[in-house]
Amino acid sequence: MRIDGITIFCLRIPFVEAFRHSTSARSFSDSIVVRVKAEDGTVGYGEGLARSYVTGETVESLVAHIVNRLWPAVARSDYSEISRNPDPLALLSSINESLPETSDGVIAWHGARTAIEIALIDCLLRSEGLSLGRILPAKRQLVIYSGVITTGSMEAAVRHARYFKLFGLKYLKIKIDTTNPVERVAAIRSAVGSDISLRVDANGAFDARTAGKVLSALNDFGVDAAEQPIGRGHPEELAELRVSSPIPIVADESLVTLADGRALVDARACDYFNLRLSKCGGIFRTLQMARLAGSAGLRVQLGSHVGETAILSAAGRHVAAHLENVDFVEGSYGSLLLAEDISRDSVVFGHGGVAPLLRGPGLGINVREEVLRNYAQNIISLSTPARPAHFRKGEVRNVSTNQGSHQVAGKTPASQARAGSIVSGKHSKTFPA
């Protein structure tokens, strides 16, 4: 099975409320959605997010990486043998191997890899009529999600906590920073009572000394885990904090690559890995990290990026259901946060944070392409130049954008992108090669 073309949608979906934490604030989703189309006409969707403070990617560099590096590799690959392999996990491994590995100028091109990897998985599975659940057999029949309370005023935080209590959520994560973190947690504990599990996430807001004091104080309020109290740095610093902390430590920004994971394990720096698909480089690499965590006796939190659409939510649902050692799951916020999500059926969890397994082909969701187009700031289409047999009348060959088509004979998308010839959105942009 070969892939005939991909389309990249650079989304801008408004949030119904701005989301803030100690390193970033955002009021819209800037997800990158990739649609791949196989030679048999099957379509699959993937999604990645650019977070410069996590992987080092920006929206522009992420898109350029797909155009320049990943798409040419996908266009060259034949996935026929992969999709026929009787070992389902071989599909994930082979797709991962088909994508080139570079980290030039960033921590990792994981958002870009995730978008392509998930789109390929969705496409190849749909082509066979198989659910992702076939590859990742569920260890549980329901996935239970946590609520996340953003930073902001104390009044708003308490109010949000009450919403979540009304929704029956059993797990809450509280974003904290240097402004009254202990008082914040105390107020929320008072509002929700003692039956709800609380965690905190500082997104690296504290220095090691302050973090130690804050974690000691938070222990009085029944906090079950503290995520990334200090910034991404040497694992030894986190390990030192862990020794003195009465609260289990979760590594998030410190854990982007498998090498990061090994270093954290070697340093005994944490109790939990926070795995996020787009941060970790897709499903295969997330599973690798989860396996590493399990072998080291660590537990897992399956997190999410703010602004994920139904695509990453669905992929996350499958992974969460599959993992043995997952204690906390985040995401699937869909239209609770987005003005509109892109799937026909909602992926939002229900009362208690409970969500069912997805059983349809591929990821198990139906993407509404009209919604993608409605919220796309830029649309970039790339097709394979080498197979004119699949070139149909009216279809743009090689590169097209939502500013019109650019048929460039004899040039690959990568060469065009390097030459800065892709027009993106309303403005001509040169993608960094």
Partner 1 sequence: MSIRSLVESEYAAQTEAFAGSEILRSLRSGKAPAKAYDDFIARLCRTHLNSPQILAFLYSLAPPRVADPLKHNMLEELGLDKAGVAHPELLLRLARAAGFDEQERATLKAQSQSELRRMCTDPILFGTFREFGLTVLLEVTCFEWMLSRLGKPIGDLLAKHRGLSQADLLWFTHHSEVDQRHAEEGLDAVVEYATYYEFEETDFRLITEIVFRENVFLKRYFAKSEVSRPALMLSL
Distance (Å, whole) CA 204 – CA 238: 11
Place of tokens 């819209």: 28
Nearer CB in complex with partner 1: 309/424: 309
CB of 379 to partner 1, least distance (A): 20
Does position 349 interact with partner 1 (CB under 8 A)? The reply is yes
In angstroms, the CA 311 to CA 43 distance is: 13
337 in contact with partner 1 (CB under 8 A) = yes
Structure tokens at 148: 């996340």
Confirm or reject binding of residue 148 to partner 1 (CB under 8 A).
Answer: yes
> 102-126 as b/e, with b when 16 or more CB fall inside 10 Å?
eeeebbbbbbbbbbbbbbbbbbbbb
Stretch that binds partner 1, among 125-133, 154-162, 282-290, 425-433 (CB under 8 A): 154-162
Query: Taking CB under 8 A as the criterion, which residues in 15-44 touch partner 1?
Result: 16-19
Check binding of 255 to partner 1 (CB under 8 A).
no
- If one asks whether residue 345 binds partner 1 (CB under 8 A), the answer comes out as yes
Q: Which of 2, 340, 360, 421 binds partner 1 (CB under 8 A)?
A: 340
Residue matched to tokens 């001509």: 428
360 binds partner 1, rule: CB under 8 A? no
Could you say whether residue 166 binds partner 1 (CB under 8 A)?
yes
CB of 328 to partner 1, least distance (A): 15
Binding mask 304-333 for partner 1 (x = CB under 8 A): -----------------------------x
- H-helix or E-strand containing 198? strand 197-201
CB of 132 to partner 1, least distance (A): 20
State the CB neighbour count (10 A cutoff) for residue 186. 16
CA distance 193 to 113: 42
The verdict on 158 binding partner 1 (CB under 8 A) reads no
What letter does residue 68 receive in the DSSP assignment? Answer: I
Among 105, 129, 137, 168, binds partner 1 (CB under 8 A): 168
Least distance between partner 1 and beta carbon 376 (Å):
16
Rounded to an integer, what distance in angstroms lies between the CA atom of residue 291 and that of residue 102? 23
Can you tell me the distance from the alpha carbon of 277 to that of 131, in angstroms, rounded to the nearest whole number?
18
Report in angstroms how near the CB of residue 340 gets to partner 1 at its nearest. 7
